[in-house]
Amino acid sequence: MRVSAGGAVPDADGWSPRLALLVAATFFMEFLDGTVLTTAIPSIAADFSVPAADVNITMTAYLMTVAMGIPLSSWLAERLGARRVFCLAIAVFTAASLLCAVSHDLTMLTLSRVLQGAGGAMMVPVGTLVVLRGTPKKDLLRATAFLVWPGLLAPVLAPLVGGALTTYLSWHWIFLVNLPLGLAAFLAALRLVPAVAGDGKRRLDWLGLALTTLGVGSLLVGLELMGGRDAGIAAAVGIVAGLLFLTAAVAWMRRSGTPLFKLSVFGARTFRATATGGFVYRLTISAVPFLLPLMFQTGFGWDPLRAGAMVSAVFVGNIGIKPATTPLIRRFGFKPVLVFASLASAATFALCALLNAGTPEALIITVLVASGAFRSIGFSAYASVQYADVVPAQLPSANAVSATLVQLATAAGIAVGALLLRVFGGSGNWAAAAADPAAPYRAAFVAIAVLMLLSTVDSLALPRHAGAEVSRPGPAPAAERRRRRRA
């Protein structure tokens, strides 16, 4: 790759590993800050003299701002240019991190987290767009391999980083470490991100933006309430309102001459999979890190340290299998890999339902490492196949829609996990009568195993050579060529 004054010039084949690595590094900062505060909540509560439960608002505010800001980021990248918006996002995120570190009360910290979330909302989709635009289909698997690892690695390091910084320094350092990282990323972005002019005449679909933002926000509020202990009518109202707003947004954008998103992207079956089987897949795998530590502590009676160490086995599997995911997809194709990943994941969830406090730790670790490996395979496959048949003009819309769905699936996974525990652990049902504190967790794992099978059904419905241009570069199979001519 050559570098000019205006930014990075990709290699002859358009592939820029250094640019992808830079974007992945910014993703890692954004993903890490989404959960790293968990271990610091007691310290923050003590400093601000507030109940620990009140500090949760800082995490919720951050995650909601990221999700609600993604739709606008797509338009900003098109209007102002992706390089300018990406650099702005890094600057905002870094400056907000400093404000978080110097916050003197919960209100200032929460507002600073909202600003930090605004920066994160632009970094995620705009960074991905920068990489995808310069990557030909034959290199898409390699590009997404770079972009996927932050989502797999951040959950491993968040508790460790947060705990270490809080214990040996103070919670302020959770945010202060972002300053040198953000500065380095900003300088690297100026050098590596291609300078492409934006479309100054591109109009913003204000109504589409308002309906989409209200829909995503209402859904997240509803899911957050559903995952709490006092879920009820408010959670249902939030979810129903969110779905109504999003339905109205879709109806409007279908008629609008300048829609916020080009919904024609859903005409590609491989992209549509990210909103069907892919959504279910991400929802179920997001429930596992929520259920496991609770089962180990509440169900098995383990201490938090032992439970946390055991859960890390899932993420060891995530990272350990990563070098093999691209060769597997190239060898077998997307459809077989997605079917296998969902079936194998469902099997490991069912095995988790059979675990108990007396199960040998070596066996538990084996099951969790396998679960993490299958999780990684499916996650990587969905991240790549969704763009296999998306044309360049649809990339901004596809990218923003995908990023929003990932945020919603993650929130839904935690909410569904909490809901299942309430359903199976409530008074008057078989779980309560079993006198086994782990029984609700066993039932919940069986339920998400069954739910995962819906993803399998969706994957089985994919065309045989789905995404072949990405998984097996070269001449498309004859059947695929005929399908494209008919399309």
Rounded to whole angstroms, how far apart are CA atoms 322 and 443? 30
pLDDT of residue 366: 94
User: Backbone phi, then psi, for 275, in 5-degree steps?
Assistant: -95, -5
* Radius of gyration (C-alpha) of the chain in whole angstroms: 22
DSSP element (H, E) containing 3: strand 2-4
Identify the pLDDT of residue 209. 86
Distance CA 397, CA 386 (A): 12
CA dist 14 to 10, 20, 126, 411, 436, Å? 5, 12, 18, 35, 58
Distance (Å, whole) CA 5 – CA 401: 33
Cα–Cα distance for residue pair 87/365, rounded to 1 Å: 41
**What SS3 class is residue 7?**
strand
Q: Is the dihedral of CA 128, 134, 139, 140 positive or negative?
A: positive
Say what the alpha-carbon torsion angle 414, 418, 421, 422 is, to the nearest 10 degrees: -160
* 3-state DSSP of 254-278: HHCCCCCCCHHHHHCHHHHCCCCHH
Report how far residue 370's alpha carbon sits from residue 377's, in angstroms, rounded to the nearest whole number: 11
What is the model's pLDDT at position 346?
A: 95
The dihedral sign for the CA sequence 293, 294, 297, 303: positive
Per-residue pLDDT of the chain (487 residues; tens, 9 = 90+): 444 444 444 443 456 778 878 888 888 777 777 767 766 777 888 888 887 667 777 877 887 888 888 888 878 887 788 788 888 999 999 999 999 988 888 889 889 999 998 888 888 788 888 887 777 777 777 777 777 777 666 666 666 677 677 777 878 888 888 898 889 989 888 888 777 766 667 787 888 889 988 988 888 888 777 756 656 788 788 889 989 998 998 888 888 777 888 888 888 888 888 889 899 999 998 888 878 888 888 888 887 677 777 887 888 888 888 888 888 888 888 899 999 999 999 999 999 999 888 889 999 999 999 998 998 898 888 888 888 888 877 888 888 888 888 888 887 888 888 888 878 876 555 544 457 788 888 899 999 999 999 999 999 998 888 777 776 655 444 444 454 444 4
Residue 2 parent element (H or E): strand 2-4
DSSP 348: H
3-class secondary structure, 300: coil
Determine the pLDDT at residue 227: 59
**Cβ atoms of residues 385 and 338 within 8 Å:** yes
φ, ψ at 232 (rounded to 5°): -170, -135
Structure tokens at 318: 């995530």
460: Cβ contacts below 8 Å, ≥ 6 apart: 335, 339
Distance of alpha carbon 462 from alpha carbon 385, whole angstroms:
11
Residue 373: closest CA among 324, 325, 313, 318: 318
State the pTM of this model: 0.80
- State the pLDDT at residue 229: 60
Cβ-based neighbour number of residue 398 at 10 Å:
26
Which pLDDT does position 159 carry in this prediction?
63
Q: What is the pLDDT of residue 200?
A: 64
CB count in 10 Å sphere of residue 227: 21
pLDDT (0 to 100) of residue 231: 63
